[in-house]
């Protein structure tokens, strides 16, 4: 009965990200690299901070 896969659990924690500078909820964009790894780009609408996080 354990047939329910929820790979999105990890993704949710990744996407719940506040700006480390001003504490505003950041916009997130998820892309796939050429290797097939997920690359998440965070951008803050308030102060303009942005950075990307790649998954191995």
Q: How far is the CB of 4 from Zn ion (least distance, A)?
A: 36
Q: How far is the CB of 18 from Zn ion (least distance, A)?
A: 8
d(CA 49, CA 18): 11
What's the start-to-end Cα distance of the chain, in Å?
30
Q: Under the rule (CB under 5 A), what is the footprint of Zn ion?
A: 19, 21-22, 24, 44, 46-47, 49
Nearest to Zn ion of 37, 47 (CB atom):
47
Q: How far is the CB of 52 from Zn ion (least distance, A)?
A: 16
């Amino acid at each position: 009965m354990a047939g329910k896969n929820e790979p999105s659990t990890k993704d949710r924690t990744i996407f719940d990200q506040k700006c480390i500078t001003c504490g505003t909820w950041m916009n997130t964009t998820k892309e796939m690299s050429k290797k097939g790894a997920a690359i998440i780009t965070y951008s803050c609408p308030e102060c303009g901070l942005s950075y990307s996080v790649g998954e191995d």
